[in-house]
Amino acid sequence: MHRHLLKIFFLVFTFFIQLEIIAQIEIKSLRVYSNDDETIFPLIDLSNKESFISIEFDVLSKEEPNLAIIFRPCDSEWNVYENPFLFNPLYDKEINLWLDKLPLNVRGANFHYLGKFPNDNVQFTTSSKWKYFIVDNFDKKKIYASGKFYVVNPEVKLNVSTIRESLQGEFGDLAILGRTISINTSFTLPDSLFQNNVLKVEIIKNRLFDYPIIIDRKNFNQNTYYEWDASKRFSFVARNIKPGNEYRQTDTRNISVYNSVNVNSKFGEFDFSDLFTKRKNDINGSSILMNWKNSNAEYLNVTFRLKPPENITKPIFLVGSFNDWKLSPEYEMYDDNNIMYLTIQLKRGLYDYQYVVAEIESNKIINQDWFILEGNFYETKNEYHIFLYYESEEKGGYEKIIGYKKIDGVL
């Protein structure tokens, strides 16, 4: 009887200990990129057997957690498909992730993970958008973090051209904002594909997953439209695309300069409006972090400080490679006597970032202006990733990516 009670007590005690460990797990510095280069857009080309993605992150946890990664195909809006024919349950997850211990004196995290996919446990057969979910290995409904990437099997060759244009309008002193480019994507469908099933073209600038340029056959206008010869030839056009400026950068890898846990993004400086200042080349919205084996690869409290012009009265938001370039209310900057500031925790590294002027309404961000503080120059070196979507009847039907091309937007 006593042995039975002790066994029950032990099981209950172990359960609550596991719950405490789960509650304290935090995924940090989560990134996904192609091959072994942290600056390359995350994409797997199924026509290239050497193509893969890397998923990398740190973990803050008192005890080593038991984690898994689940992979799911998505439609063009990043909604996960429920269709079981689009993924293979035998090859859709990596379980019991191998975590390396970070050096003991590293502040802010305890473990590190780096995985490469596809591998023996994970395979991709659907040419579409994909999401991955970092979950608890024992309770896969417990999601700690997630990310996005593309898988493509290009069946159609895309021919892409770019042209400089000038946006018409009354800009006054802000004529710089009228500098635009157009991107023309043309292609000829093979006989095996149907013209009516061509859906749209999507253009992703650098890493702006959540702000695509869409040229949809069902919803087009003077800035995004298509032409069709009623046979196999198509041309999709996106006009009035602002190149923007090279991104701002913060680099905290220099230990002699950034030698405190509390630092500024620019050593001894503020950021200012760069509306009329062309900046040096960036890394197209990605990041380069200090190697996890380095005992100095710790987390710092980094304060971003901006002195905006007096005519900027709307809220200002910080975006960058550290938050996947997604505008969110928690990244709204605070105002201290017209000095805008925000402190976030970052691992030592090099990060691209910028400031966006916008408004919040019902906890949603509206009226975004990505250029008024950053500038807009034809010479900006952007990457544009172009995807062609097709309504496929394969595997029960899905929005298939049948064409892909990356171009450099400099003209």
In DSSP notation, 247-314 reads PEEEE---TTTS-SSEEESSTT--EE--TT-PPPP--TT-EEEPPTTSTT--EEEEEEEEE--TT--S
Cβ atoms of residues 305 and 270 within 8 Å: yes
Look up residue 331 and give its two tokens: 């990244």
Give residue-wise pLDDT tens across range 41-67.
Answer: 999 999 999 999 999 999 999 999 999
- Burial category of 154 from C-beta neighbours within 10 Å (exposed 0-12, middle 13-18, buried 19 and up): middle
Residue 314 CB contacts under 8 Å (≥ 6 apart), including other chains: 357, 358, 359, 367
Domains of the chain: 25-152 (2.60.40), 159-244+379-408 (2.60.40), 248-369 (2.60.40)
Across the range 67-81, mean pLDDT stands at 98
Read off the pLDDT of residues 334-350 as tens digits, 9 standing for 90 and up.
999 999 999 999 999 99
The CA distance from 216 to 198, in Å, is: 9
Residue 18 has pLDDT above 70, yes or no: no
Whose structure tokens read 């024919």? 85
The whole-number pLDDT of residue 7 equals 39
- What's the confidence (pLDDT) of residue 329? 96
The residue assigned the tokens 């906890």 is: 363
Mean pLDDT along residues 86-113? 95
Backbone angles phi, psi at 197, to 5 degrees: -90, -5
Q: Report the pLDDT averaged over residues 323-331.
A: 97
What is the band of 174 on the pLDDT scale with cuts at 50, 70, 90? confident
Q: Identify the residue whose tokens are 């805008």.
A: 340
- In Å, what is the CA distance from 313 to each residue of 244, 316, 340, 375? 21, 9, 11, 18
R_g (Cα) of the chain, nearest Å: 24
* Cβ count near 173 (within 10 Å): 8
At residue 15, the pLDDT reads 38
- Residue 214: which H helix or E strand, with range? strand 213-216
Contact status, residue 355 vs residue 369, Cβ threshold 8 Å: no
- C-alpha 217/C-alpha 201 separation (Å) is 9
Taking the CB of residue 138, how many other CB atoms lie within 10 A of it? 11
Q: Could you report the per-residue pLDDT of 24-41, keeping only the tens digit for each?
A: 899 999 999 999 999 999
- Stated pTM of the model: 0.92
pLDDT higher than threshold 70 for residue 379: yes
Q: Name the DSSP class of 121.
A: S
Mean pLDDT rounded to a whole number for the chain = 93
